[in-house]
Structure formats: structure tokens, C-alpha cells
């Protein structure tokens, strides 16, 4: 009689023994040191505290939010400086344009400047003319930052940036390989500034020599673009003014700034009384747009924009 076969399953336990020496190796393993960053590297990129990032009055429990005096359309923060600037400011630019408008415009022009620096062939074919316009604009903007009494970003680098962009603008009269390479360096400098790295060399005279910084022709071209762009587009009707109020204000402030630069000593015809009067008309008309935005008066905004256009046309009839 056949007996059934019995099968046995053996369970094998495996015990892993870790030598104690490995623990010592892991504990003493050398690793790369933690990175360290200086406060200056991110000074222009991040706020020092959360309170600096909050504009306007903080909300309180149980109370409705309180509207500010003049930010309903523009988003611009009022300050004590705005109320007494005309009596205390040494620089006219402090009254004409806010730090926020300066910062936003430098960032905007940077994008247009980058688009003009693509390939040597495109640069030689005509993009150098656009690059010269943007270089002149940037030199003027950084010169205003130098004189502005507000807390504007990149102030520590503004004088050096002004000189770099002004010099490259003066050289940018052709699309040669040498000019292209120099312009690419300015593109890299601007990228470093906006990203917060700053310029390697900040040595420069603080006082502006406007005769070496700006030129009337590209500045007038810049003003025409401002006029035909945001100001015209953003003042078509009350709805456009409400939705594009920030851009309209910034454009009005920039046009007032240009009017002030054009009549500054060192520029062509600055000593011409008739020319200076036309520049003053541009400044007054541009400021009327900002004041109308403060009052949320759409019709007054449109009238102010029309006055800006008329002042530019009158100037172009006799000066170019």
C-alpha cells in the first residue's frame, strides 16, 4: 500500500547584520556646506517684511474697509510727500512721476529692448534704430531715478546705469557687429539690474548732465508712442478708463516727465521761451489727466488726454 508522501516547507529567516562601522561613516560623511546669500543680492527682488508689501489701510474685524483718497482708479498709494511735495521737493521729477511708475516703465521698456536684440542680421537690417530709441529712453529713466527723491528701486545703480545706456545710445548709429555686441552687453546689464543682482561697477557722478544723457528726437518719438498707445487706448470711454486707469496714469506721468526733460538745460532749444512754454503745456495737460483720475471724472480724463495730444501737435509743428 502506497503511503502518501509528506512535503515539508522550510521557512528560512534571513538576518541582516549591519556593521556598526557604517553608522560611524554616515555620521562623519562630508557634505557640501549650506549656501549663503547676502542681503544685497535680493534687495530689489523681495520685500524686507510683509508690511512693506501691503499698501493702504489694513482691514479691521467688524469694520468695513476704508477707501483711500486717490487709489480708486490708479492703484497709487498716497503719502505725505504727495501733499507737500511742491513745497519741499528739490527735483521737479518727484512731483511729476511716482516711484512705481518709474519702476514699471523700466521693466516694460526692458522687454521691448530685449526684442530688438535678437540676431546680428536683424540688428543690422534696422533693429539697431529701435535699440537706440530704447537705450535713450532707459538712460533718461535712470537719470530721473538719480534725481527723484522717492524710494525708487535700483537707486544705488541708477547713475552707473544711466551712463552705460547713454553711451551705448550715442554709439548705436549703425548695425555693425561692434555696436551689436555692445548693445548685447547692455541687455545683460539690464537683466542683472531687474533681477536684483545689480551692476558690478557702480562708480559714476551723481549729477545728471542731460546734454550727454538724452536727445530730443528719440525722446519725442518715445512720447508719441506713449500718446498713441495707452493714453489713446485707455481714454476711449468711461469703461476703458475704469479698466485701464493704472496704465493711463502711468502714461500721463511719463509724458509729464518727458516734458520736463525736454526743457532741461543741455537739451536743444531749452533756452527758447516759446519752446519751454510748449513743454509746460504738455506737463500741465498730463497732470490734469492724473488729477481727473483721482476724482474718477471720466470726462475730465478724456479732455486732459485731448489737451496732451494738442500740446504734442503744436510742438511738432515747429520743433523736431
pLDDT value, residue 34: 61
Write out pLDDT tens, residues 259-281.
999 999 999 898 999 999 999 99
- Give the Cα separation of 43 and 306 in Å (integer): 40
CB atoms under 10 Å from CB of 75, counted, come to: 15
Nine cell digits for residue 102: 518709474
- Give the Cα separation of 77 and 16 in Å (integer): 68
Q: What are the residues whose beta carbons fall under 8 Å from the beta carbon of 236, sequence distance 6 or more? A: none
Mean of the pLDDT values across residues 292-319?
A: 90
For the chain, the average pLDDT equals 80
Nine cell digits for residue 106: 523700466
pLDDT band for position 160 (cuts 50, 70, 90): very high
When comparing pLDDT for 234 and 92, which is higher?
Answer: 92
pLDDT value, residue 126: 94
Q: By the 8 A CB rule, do 125 and 175 touch?
A: yes
Q: Among residues 237, 243, 253, 242, which one has the least CA distance to residue 288?
A: 253
pLDDT value, residue 31: 58
Mean of the pLDDT values across residues 105-130?
A: 95
- Give the Cα separation of 127 and 117 in Å (integer): 7
pLDDT value, residue 9: 43
What is the share, in percent, of the chain residues with pLDDT greater than 90? 58
Write out pLDDT tens, residues 29-78.
555 566 565 554 444 445 455 544 444 444 444 444 444 343 333 344 44
Confidence check: pLDDT of 2 > 60: no
Q: What is the dihedral of CA 188, 159, 106, 150, to 10 degrees?
A: 150
Confidence check: pLDDT of 11 > 90: no
Q: What are the residues whose beta carbons fall under 8 Å from the beta carbon of 261, sequence distance 6 or more? A: 140, 144, 210, 214, 219, 267
Mean of the pLDDT values across residues 76-102?
A: 68
- Give the Cα separation of 214 and 211 in Å (integer): 6
Question: At 118, is the secondary structure helix, strand, or coil?
Answer: coil
Q: Which of 44-58, 112-126, 170-184, 271-285 has the lowest mean pLDDT?
A: 44-58
Amino acid at each position: 500500500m502506497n503511503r502518501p508522501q509528506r512535503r515539508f516547507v522550510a521557512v528560512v529567516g534571513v538576518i541582516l547584520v549591519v556593521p556598526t562601522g557604517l553608522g560611524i561613516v554616515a555620521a562623519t560623511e562630508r557634505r557640501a556646506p549650506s549656501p549663503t546669500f547676502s542681503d544685497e543680492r535680493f534687495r530689489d527682488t523681495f520685500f524686507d517684511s510683509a508690511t512693506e508689501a501691503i499698501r493702504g489701510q489694513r482691514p479691521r474685524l467688524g469694520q468695513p474697509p476704508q477707501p483711500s483718497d486717490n487709489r480708486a482708479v490708479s492703484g497709487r498709494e498716497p503719502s505725505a510727500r504727495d501733499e507737500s511735495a511742491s513745497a519741499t521737493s528739490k527735483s521737479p521729477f518727484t512731483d511729476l512721476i511716482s516711484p512705481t511708475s518709474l519702476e514699471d516703465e523700466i521693466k516694460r521698456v526692458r522687454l521691448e529692448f530685449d526684442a530688438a536684440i535678437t540676431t546680428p542680421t536683424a540688428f543690422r537690417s534696422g533693429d539697431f534704430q529701435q535699440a537706440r530709441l530704447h537705450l535713450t529712453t532707459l538712460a533718461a529713466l535712470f537719470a530721473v531715478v538719480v534725481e527723484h527723491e522717492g524710494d525708487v528701486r535700483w537707486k544705488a545703480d541708477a547713475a552707473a546705469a544711466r551712463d552705460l545706456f547713454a553711451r551705448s545710445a550715442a554709439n548705436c548709429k549703425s548695425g555693425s557687429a561692434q555696436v551689436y555686441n555692445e548693445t548685447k552687453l547692455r541687455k545683460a546689464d539690464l537683466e542683472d539690474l531687474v533681477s536684483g543682482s545689480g551692476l558690478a561697477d557702480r562708480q559714476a557722478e551723481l549729477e545728471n548732465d542731460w546734454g550727454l544723457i538724452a536727445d530730443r528726437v528719440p525722446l519725442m518719438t518715445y512720447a508719441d508712442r506713449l500718446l498713441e498707445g495707452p493714453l489713446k487706448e485707455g481714454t476711449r470711454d468711461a469703461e476703458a478708463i475704469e479698466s485701464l486707469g493704472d496704465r493711463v496714469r502711468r502714461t500721463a506721468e511719463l509724458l509729464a516727465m518727458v516734458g520736463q526733460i525736454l526743457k532741461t538745460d543741455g537739451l536743444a532749444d531749452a533756452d527758447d521761451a516759446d519752446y519751454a512754454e510748449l513743454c509746460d503745456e504738455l506737463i500741465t495737460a498730463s497732470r490734469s489727466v492724473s488729477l481727473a483720475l483721482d476724482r474718477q471724472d471720466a470726462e475730465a480724463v478724456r479732455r486732459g488726454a485731448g489737451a496732451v495730444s494738442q500740446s504734442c501737435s503744436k510742438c511738432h509743428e515747429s520743433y523736431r
